[in-house]
Amino acid sequence: MIAVQVILEFLTTIFIFPGFLFTLVASLLNQWYVRKVVAKMQNRVGPRFAGPFGILQPFYDFYKLMRKEEITPNYGNARLFGLFMGIGIGSNIAILMFFPISPFRFHGPFDIVVFAYLGLWTTIAIALASLIFPNIFSSIGVSRLISLMLVYEPTWILSVLTPSAIVSKYSSIPFSILETITNFSVILSNPLYLVLTAISFITAVASLQCRLGLQPFDIFEADTEIIAGAFTEFSGNKMALSTLLHDIETFTGATLLVFIFLGGPFPFFLNTAEGVLLIILKFLAVIFLLTVIRASSARYRLDQAIGFFKYPLLLALAALIVASIV
């Protein structure tokens, strides 16, 4: 009986909450919010007609793309593309299973290693999905993506490690994502811990901006230079799935910032209305920050972006070292 309950809990987590169904709806709603914010900053209207205030526009756009004619180049493989998109989406859903919102949770000593490993697969999935459709612009886009990955991924991992290293000093389960989230009060107990976490939050925002390909780091897409870069050969349901993967990665990354760096529902509890509302407000604030940076920045060149990341990387590394020794 217990085994059946665990299996049902696991399947519910994967397919319903916070699994595919919830993530799909939340990611598309988040896309609407982003489009509205960008439109407001650029003195435009944004989504307007599909649903109240245009809130259903991302759902309709996804439906339209799934119905459009699909073009698969010679020597391409649509089945492999679907596999890589599935891996990318699945890795993001698995990441959500480390958070306290998940009924079935991954939890154990040093689970942050698995967490970091899963985070790599979205970028890898996009790169592999692009490379199976031969195109010079796709190849250039993927080469830029991999180059950026070598600088933003270490920054991202070091940033997440800092609050985890702080909490691990007071926890019996070291370097656990769930322990880091549920013991956020430890970070607030010492002003130095708070400063180190704030520095890590800033470097995490910079690395997330880059891994999402948002301006000023939309270098591997760069439509004015290399058509659409890594996404050049994507059409129809390929474009729909790649856009969905991007939206899901945005949702997952922002959720991570909310729970690890901003305390999630803290100072309330997760199972309260106040706690849920606070999580939503913090999430919207993080997305607003990412969107403002995107809408107010011009694209870097590849060498400029790589040169820029030496500062967040060094800051994240310094914060982690200090957090480990104090």
Q: What is the mean pLDDT of residues 161-170?
A: 91
Q: What is the mean pLDDT of residues 219-226?
A: 78
* Chain mean pLDDT for the chain: 88
pLDDT at 2 over 70: no
C-beta neighbour count of 238 within 10 angstroms: 23
Q: What is the mean pLDDT of residues 286-314?
A: 90
Residue 248: per-residue pLDDT: 93
pLDDT at 202 over 90: yes
CA triple 142-146-148, angle to 5 deg? 115
Q: Which helix (H) or strand (E) holds 200?
A: helix 191-211
Q: Which two tokens stand for residue 250?
A: 């945005």
**Percentage of residues in the chain having pLDDT higher than 70:** 99
- Give the CA distances from residue 243 to residues 31, 179, 246, in Å, rounded to whole numbers and listed in that order: 10, 32, 5
CB 166 within 8 A of CB 261: no
pLDDT at 203 over 90: yes
Q: What's this model's pTM, rounded to 2 decimal places?
A: 0.92
Q: Which two tokens stand for residue 224?
A: 């004015």
Q: Which of 125-134, 249-258, 316-325 has the lowest mean pLDDT?
A: 125-134
pLDDT at 254 over 70: yes
Give the tens place of pLDDT for each residue, 57-75: 999 988 888 888 777 777 7
Q: What is the mean pLDDT of residues 214-239?
A: 80
Residue 1: per-residue pLDDT: 61
3-state helix, strand, coil in the chain (%, to 5): 70, 0, 30
Q: What is the mean pLDDT of residues 199-220?
A: 91
Distance of CA 2 to the CA centre of its chain: 34
CA triple 23-28-30, angle to 5 deg? 95
Distance of CA 137 to the CA centre of its chain: 25
pLDDT at 222 over 80: no
Tally DSSP H helices, then E strands, for the chain.
14, 0
Residue 196: per-residue pLDDT: 94
Concatenated DSSP letters for 254-321? Answer: HHHIIIIIS-TTTTS-TTSHHHHHHHHHHHHHHHHHHHHHHHT-PPPPHHHHHHHTHHHHHHHHHHHH
Residue 108: per-residue pLDDT: 84
Q: Which two tokens stand for residue 211?
A: 């891994």
Burial 185-217 (b: 16+ CB within 10 A, else e): ebbeeeeebeebbebbbbbbbbbbbbbbbbbbb
Residue 75: per-residue pLDDT: 72
pLDDT tier for residue 228 given thresholds of 50, 70 and 90 = confident
Return the DSSP state at 217.
-
CB 116 within 8 A of CB 157: yes
Q: Which of 152-156, 232-236, 292-296, 321-325 has the lowest mean pLDDT?
A: 232-236
Report the C-alpha gap between 279 and 277 in whole angstroms: 5
Give the tens place of pLDDT for each residue, 87-132: 999 999 999 988 988 888 888 888 898 988 998 888 899 888 888 8
Give the tens place of pLDDT for each residue, 30-52: 999 999 999 888 888 888 888 88
- Give the CA distances from residue 24 to residues 21, 39, 251, in Å, rounded to whole numbers and listed in that order: 5, 23, 10
Provide CB contacts within 8 A for 10, sequence distance 6+.
104
Provide CB contacts within 8 A for 258, sequence distance 6+.
264, 279, 282, 283, 286
Q: How many CA atoms lie within 13 A of 186 on its CB side?
A: 18
Give the tens place of pLDDT for each residue, 191-200: 899 999 999 9
pLDDT at 164 over 90: yes
Residue 130: per-residue pLDDT: 86
Residue 278: per-residue pLDDT: 93
- Please name which of 120, 134, 102, 129 lies closest in space to residue 244, comparing C-alpha atoms: 129
Report the C-alpha gap between 32 and 68 in whole angstroms: 21
Residue 267 identity: P
